[in-house]
Chain A
Amino acid sequence: MLILSRKVNESILIGDEVEITVTQVRGTGDQAVVRLGIKAPRDVVVLRREVYDEIVAATRQAAQAGAAADLARALLAGEEAPPAPGEAGAEEDAGSGGSGSSEGAG
């Protein structure tokens, strides 16, 4: 990692279009807080690291569509938060398997 020292009101450029300026330094040691001003084109995403990490984590957590069919069934039934937790084994097709489920009864 490149490490530079800057004073208040000094800045660094990243490429031609991104400029980061130190605007204020408060406190010392672990309590120090640095305020930065950032100039960047609109298509450059500027995020606090923890926000980015949270979005990555949430997106990874979403990467399993397993409950989609359950959710669709619940929405179809018009229920907001239906009772009766489903058995762990019966997720895909079973639903509320009452009596016969033959499709092509002929």
Chain B
Amino acid sequence: MKGGNAAVAETGTAKAVGQKAGPSTAQGEQVFTFPQGLYGFRELRRFAVLTVPGGGDVLKVLQSLDSPDVAFTLVAPNPFFPDYQPGPLSPEQTRELQLDAPDQGIWMLLAAFPDQDFRRATVNLKAPLVFNPFRRLGKQVILEGDYPVRQPLFRKQEAGRGADSQPQGQ
């Protein structure tokens, strides 16, 4: 008899990240542990998932609690890339995240902003993050297959790939 398996009903949406996750701080932050850190940030283990005004479930900020200067923008893949199917996780990854099933993780993408310009935002489809919002665990996963590391978030960018050096406006 496993009681209270509420997780099952909530899977598959970005909603759960940072919302259903146990205790929170005074600011409503949800604290997640990344046991292995992120690539390039192995030493950073504790992160708060912060809401962004207007960001809803699509946009979150992942703020390091170990290094205040480090914060990531998280983007839910589904609204932008409906065909993107990262899962399911391997048995080892499922165990590491303490998920009940390999398809229960919540996926989020890391966004980057060249020159701090959100219109040029790119997301990393090759190495997304996966969360267990109930155990408050997270992991960066490198997917097999040919996914772009810097996929433009907005379609208009795709045409002008070579025009990076051209300053726009003025």
Contact = CB atoms under 8 A, between A and B. Distances in A.
User: Do A and B share a complex?
Assistant: yes
A58 B58 contact: no
A55 B126 contact: yes
Interface in A39-98: 41-43, 45, 47, 51-52, 54-76, 80-82, 84-85, 91
Nearest to B155: A80
B90 interface: yes
A91 B52 CA distance: 14
Contact of B127 (A55, A68, A69): A55
Contact of B121 (A54, A58, A71, A91): A71
Nearest to A88: B116
A76 B52 CA distance: 11
Contacts of A54: 149
A74 B113 CA distance: 14
Contacts of A68: 52, 55, 59, 61, 73, 111, 118
A70 B116 CA distance: 10
Contact of A80 (B91, B124, B127, B156): B156
A47 B61 contact: no
A72 B54 contact: yes
A50 to B, nearest CB: 11
> Which 6 residue pairs across A and B have the least CB separation, nearest first?
A43-B92, A65-B71, A67-B113, A76-B54, A67-B118, A56-B40
14 contacts: A43-B93, A45-B142, A47-B142, A58-B110, A59-B38, A59-B41, A63-B40, A65-B62, A66-B113, A66-B116, A68-B59, A72-B54, A74-B119, A76-B54
